[in-house]
Structure 1
Amino acid sequence: MNRNETSARNKILTAAHNLFVTSGYGSTTIKHIAGEAGVAVQTVYFVFGNKRAMLEALLDVTIAGDELAIPTLERTWVADARAAEDPMEHLRIHVHAARLISERVARILLVVRAGADADPEVAELWRTNVEQRVTVLRSLMSSLAEKVAGMDVDTCVDVGLALLSPELYTLLVHDRDWSPEKYEAWVVEGLAASARCS
């Protein structure tokens, strides 16, 4: 991808993010996105093909925080959490990274969830995202269980899925005016209690 294509892709993704969050997935058209991005409609089709592919790309980039093709479980923060000898340090590293991801992606995930009711392809995108979150949580909770005797991994995965959900992040940080740091500390406490490592 050359510089012009990269620039167009970034403009389109930024425009799509803004419009999906403010207007919803269903109400946002390719024409709207092109206009917001300042590019031709055909450019949007050339770069992404369709709106669903654009939403998927937006989700991937927003979760990662960059364009690097590095899966979540191969990210440095995951290795750091696994390497931490202290269970609480493990949780702090994990939850801090998850909170930063939520800051970037929570609103887009809510767009995906809302769009899932009307669009089977978006519903599949939502299911895939939930499965990915469960996979990451299970990996990290299994690693934590090696440091905490008698820990129930399944319960901790479920608690983590709830506490780190885009719905709860948005409710507490955006609707109830919690600081991201307060939310992060609360999640650490909740997961520690669930894992019995506090």
Structure 2
Amino acid sequence: MAGVKPSKMQSKAAATRARIIRAAYDLFCATGYRATTMEAIGKQAGVAVQTVYFNFRTKDELLRAVHEWTVLGDDPVPPPLQPWHIAAMREPDARNALAKIVAGVAQLNARIAPMQSVFGAVSQEPAGEIYARSQELRRQDMAALVAELRKKTPLRPGLTQRRAADLLYFLMGPESYGAFVLEAGWTERQWVTWASETLNGQLFN
């Protein structure tokens, strides 16, 4: 029933599951997917390996849960329905809305970008299917975002909605964040400023 608080046992189980997911994330980022064992994940999470298998029958299943966490964080709803996104879209001017969207997406990219090489390594395996699907959904989200932004402020003359969505997809994505922040050593704030200014310059007059 809605509004019913979880029991102490349910809360403890949820906390254990979350700890396993975070441990797997840290190890996948540090040593890669294939080199990480379920035993190592259990040790990192402070639980027995049997507990890991109780929550996740296979490492592929655990990878799927890790991917979901990188996208959603601790919020169970998709990013476009999360409070930061809703608040940004209340801005009457598209430029201000986009700047706030980029700042919010940076929080997602901080989790997703370190996992890019992991997802790339399993892209041709069953475990990689969920990442491929998430990329398709992200493209759809960018198209929907452009449609909403252009209602607030017209796109630059000659710029199609599809091309605008492509710009958002690549310049605001985890690949861009990873290249500048993780590899080039930019701060997150510097990336947010650059991405916001670049996208606003490309999309609007």
TM-score computed with the length of structure 2 as normaliser: 0.86
1:123 and 2:115 equivalent? no
1:12 and 2:20 equivalent? yes
Measured in 1, the distance between the counterparts of 2:190 and 2:112 equals: 18
Are the counterparts in 1 of residues 106 and 192 from structure 2 also a CA contact under 8 Å? yes
Tell me by how many angstroms 1:165 deviates.
2.4
Relative to structure 1, is the Cα distance of residues 129 and 110 closer, same or farther in structure 2, using a 3 angstrom cutoff?
A: farther
Measured in 2, the distance between the counterparts of 1:6 and 1:126 equals: 24
Are the counterparts in 2 of residues 15 and 33 from structure 1 also a CA contact under 8 Å? yes
Post-superposition CA distance 1:14-37 (Å, at most 9, x none): 210111001111221212212222
Tell me by how many angstroms 1:150 deviates.
4.4
* Among candidates 119, 134, 137, match of residue 132 of structure 1: 137
1:104 corresponding residue in structure 2: 111
**Unmatched segments (≥5 aa) in structure 1:** none
Paired AA for residue 62 in structure 1: T
Question: Once superposed, which parts of structure 1, at least 4 consecutive aligned residues long, lie more than 3 Å away?
Answer: none
Are the counterparts in 2 of residues 72 and 136 from structure 1 also a CA contact under 8 Å? no
2:5 corresponding residue in structure 1: none
Tell me by how many angstroms 1:64 deviates.
2.0
Are the counterparts in 2 of residues 112 and 125 from structure 1 also a CA contact under 8 Å? no
Are the counterparts in 2 of residues 21 and 107 from structure 1 also a CA contact under 8 Å? yes
Post-superposition CA distance 1:9-65 (Å, at most 9, x none): 122112101110011112212122122222222211111221122112122223222
Tell me by how many angstroms 1:7 deviates.
2.8
2:192 corresponding residue in structure 1: 184
2:53 corresponding residue in structure 1: 45
Paired AA for residue 99 in structure 1: A
Are the counterparts in 2 of residues 52 and 122 from structure 1 also a CA contact under 8 Å? yes
* Among candidates 148, 165, 171, match of residue 163 of structure 1: 171
Q: How many residue pairs were aligned?
A: 194
TM-score computed with the length of structure 1 as normaliser: 0.89
* Among candidates 87, 92, 98, match of residue 85 of structure 1: 92
Where does 1:69-80 land on structure 2 (aligned, <5 Å)?
A: 69-80=76-87
1:95 and 2:102 equivalent? yes
2:4 corresponding residue in structure 1: none
Are the counterparts in 1 of residues 67 and 131 from structure 2 also a CA contact under 8 Å? no
Tell me by how many angstroms 1:97 deviates.
0.6
Are the counterparts in 2 of residues 156 and 195 from structure 1 also a CA contact under 8 Å? yes
Measured in 1, the distance between the counterparts of 2:201 and 2:139 equals: 19
Paired AA for residue 202 in structure 2: S
Between 93-102 and 123-132, report the one with greater CA deviation: 123-132
Are the counterparts in 2 of residues 78 and 140 from structure 1 also a CA contact under 8 Å? no
Measured in 2, the distance between the counterparts of 1:10 and 1:39 equals: 12
Are the counterparts in 2 of residues 9 and 47 from structure 1 also a CA contact under 8 Å? yes
Post-superposition CA distance 1:115-143 (Å, at most 9, x none): 214xx213212211211211221221110
Are the counterparts in 2 of residues 81 and 94 from structure 1 also a CA contact under 8 Å? yes
